[in-house]
């Protein structure tokens, strides 16, 4: 069977599905291809992770009509405490310094998947092929052709699209198939994540302790729960994964301290090896590389999906403003790539730089960490500047992130 569409999105994870929803009102015929059922226990994107969605991301999702489905399960981040392991002092970030009531919200990735699926079911112009897997791509002049694996009845399919978006994760098969080079760095760290329930209510407070093996973060979550992200050397993380619940909770409590009392209950633990994978180009002929396929980054500062959502908002805005009928035109893709350079470069360099500065064993690195930390603690102007960037306001900001409609009304 062969089919035709305007825009084919390979990968219906956090980034790909968000793009499909953002593009839905623009009138293009969009096909979203996802290999793993949205509600499957093995869905790699919609799992137990607690995602911090920045202020600008919440606005983007609101403009896409998705926020109202997420809001009942979202927890506002009302204060952030940043500390350094084994060093005195803390930086307290208060959204009031920026005239805001919250920095963003925390949402479980699994809940995000459920909201996305619901929204896609109510959306015209988007056909969802799931479970369906893309095995190859042929680049053409007027369109690119995707080859899909045979379905359970043994039928194979091709799909021609004027624009293909590869949102198929850090190991993107489309990117690999096209031999697009990547920069990659293995941090030798693994994040162990789970939910914990402390004795005291979190009151929207988020805690991040920066250590030489990555952050130890406790994030406010629904009810009394908190999301725990514990980055450790890959060796230590393997040990943490093997501990029984009681010992793990005791160790996590020891590391965290007493700000929320003792940790009482724990959910399922999962482990994520941490790597930087960055495609050396984010566009090629009738193709955009998006999300983890373009830039999978360290979770310090919780920037990965937030960055991808801003990519989504910009691509949707360019296509909305163009008003022509060919979404794969090279000038549009060039415009997208140019626009995204500053934000992508700044966000990726910051998360990579922070991770490496904290991991570095030298005295000089320790001095820089302390000096940076003190400047951050003592200079409200610097704090505001960094907080603004962390909330997604860096470089030219797309309309959706400013709370404006995608199209000029």
Ligand X SMILES: Cc1cc2nc3c(=O)[nH]c(=O)nc-3n(C[C@H](O)[C@H](O)[C@H](O)COP(=O)(O)OP(=O)(O)OC[C@H]3O[C@@H](n4cnc5c(N)ncnc54)[C@H](O)[C@@H]3O)c2cc1C
Closest distance of CB 53 from ligand X, Å: 7
**52 versus 61: smaller Cβ distance to ligand X:** 52
Give 168 or 282: the residue with its C-beta nearer to ligand X. Answer: 168
Considering beta carbons, is residue 48 or 321 the nearer one to ligand X?
48
In whole angstroms, what is the distance from residue 143 CA to residue 287 CA?
A: 10
Nearer to ligand X, 38 or 330 (CB): 38
Nearest to ligand X of 198, 304 (CB atom): 304
Q: Phi/psi of residue 193, each to 5°?
A: -120, 150
Output b/e per residue, 343-352; b: 16+ Cβ within 10 A: bbeebbebbb
Report the 10 Å Cβ neighbour count for 368. 13
C-alpha to C-alpha distance for 192 and 233, rounded to whole angstroms: 10
Least Cβ distance, residue 347 to ligand X (angstroms)? 10
Q: Can you tell me the distance from the alpha carbon of 229 to that of 54, in angstroms, rounded to the nearest whole number?
A: 17
Closer residue to ligand X in complex, CB, 171/334: 171
CB of 12 to ligand X, least distance (A): 6
Closest CB 364 distance from ligand X, rounded Å: 29
Return the sign of the alpha-carbon dihedral for residues 203, 205, 206, 210.
negative
**Residues lying near ligand X in the complex (CB under 6 A):** 10-16, 33-36, 44-45, 49, 51-52, 133-134, 167-169, 173, 191, 193, 229, 272, 291-292, 299, 302-306, 308
Given the complex with ligand X, which of 171 and 258 has the nearer CB atom? 171
The edge-to-edge listing of strands for the beta sheet with 75-77 is 50-54, 104-108, 75-77
Pair of tokens at residue 211? 């250590």
1 three-state secondary structure? coil
Residue 60 Cβ vs ligand X, minimum distance, rounded to whole Å: 12
Contacts of 339 (CB under 8 A, 6+ apart): 314, 318, 395, 396
Closest by CA position to 49, among listed 208, 260, 225, 228:
228
Q: Please say which residue, 123 or 303, places its beta carbon nearer to ligand X.
A: 303
Minimum CB distance to ligand X smaller for 27 or for 188: 188
Q: Which tokens hold the place of 244?
A: 């029984």
Tokens 């904290």: give the residue.
358
Give 50 or 83: the residue with its C-beta nearer to ligand X: 50
State the nearest-atom distance from the C-beta of 365 to ligand X, in Å: 24
- Tell the smallest beta-carbon distance from residue 130 to ligand X (Å): 8
CA distance 104 to 195: 19
Shortest separation between residue 304's beta carbon and ligand X, angstroms:
3
Expressed in angstroms, the distance from the first to the final Cα of the chain is 40
Q: Which residues contact 140 (CB under 8 A, 6 or more apart)?
A: 160, 286
Which two three-digit tokens encode residue 380? 């409200």
Read off the tokens for 39: 């509600």
CA distances from residue 91 to 81, 174, 206, 374, 387 in whole angstroms, order as listed: 6, 42, 12, 8, 12
DSSP assignment, residue 46?
Answer: S
Q: From its phi and psi, is residue 397 left (phi > 0), alpha (psi between -120 and 50) or beta?
A: beta
- The distance of closest approach from Cβ of residue 357 to ligand X in the complex, given in angstroms and rounded to an integer, is 20
CB of 345 to ligand X, least distance (A): 17
Structure tokens at 47: 């799992």
């Amino acid at each position: 069977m062969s089919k035709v569409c305007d825009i084919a999105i390979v990968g219906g994870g956090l980034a790909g599905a968000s793009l499909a929803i953002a593009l839905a009102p623009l009138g293009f015929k969009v096909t979203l291809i996802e290999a793993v059922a949205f509600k499957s226990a093995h869905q790699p994107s919609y799992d137990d992770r607690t995602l911090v969605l920045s202020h600008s991301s919440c606005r983007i999702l609101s403009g896409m009509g998705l926020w109202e489905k997420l809001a009942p399960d979202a927890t506002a981040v009302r204060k952030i405490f940043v500390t350094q392991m084994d060093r005195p002092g803390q930086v307290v970030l208060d959204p009031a310094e920026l005239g805001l009531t919250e920095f963003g919200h925390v949402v479980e990735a699994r809940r995000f998947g459920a909201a996305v699926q619901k929204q896609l079911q109510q959306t015209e112009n988007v056909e969802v092929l799931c479970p369906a897997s893309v095995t190859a791509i042929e680049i053409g002049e007027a369109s690119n052709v995707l080859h899909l694996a045979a379905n359970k009845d043994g039928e194979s399919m091709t799909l021609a699209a004027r624009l293909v978006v590869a949102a198929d994760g850090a190991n993107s098969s489309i990117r690999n198939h096209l031999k697009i080079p990547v920069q990659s760095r293995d941090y030798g760290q693994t994040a162990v994540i789970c939910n914990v329930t402390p004795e005291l209510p979190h009151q929207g407070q988020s805690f991040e302790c920066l250590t030489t093996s990555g952050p130890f973060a406790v994030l406010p979550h629904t009810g009394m729960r908190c999301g725990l992200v514990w980055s450790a050397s890959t060796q230590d993380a393997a040990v943490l994964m093997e501990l029984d619940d009681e010992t793990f909770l005791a160790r996590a409590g020891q590391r965290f301290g007493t700000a929320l009392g003792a940790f009482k209950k724990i959910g399922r633990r999962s482990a994520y090896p941490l790597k930087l994978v960055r495609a050396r180009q984010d566009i090629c002929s009738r193709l955009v590389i998006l999300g983890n396929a373009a830039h999978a980054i360290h979770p310090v500062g919780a920037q990965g999906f937030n960055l991808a959502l801003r990519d989504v908002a910009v691509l949707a805005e360019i296509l909305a403003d163009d008003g022509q009928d060919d979404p794969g035109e090279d000038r549009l893709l060039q415009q997208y790539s140019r626009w995204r350079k500053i934000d992508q470069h700044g966000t990726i360099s910051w998360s990579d730089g922070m991770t490496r500065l904290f991991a570095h064993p030298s005295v000089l690195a320790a001095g820089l960490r302390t000096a940076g930390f003190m400047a951050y603690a003592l200079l409200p102007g610097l704090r505001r500047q960094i907080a603004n960037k962390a909330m997604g306001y860096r470089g030219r900001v797309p309309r959706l992130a400013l709370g404006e409609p995608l199209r000029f009304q």
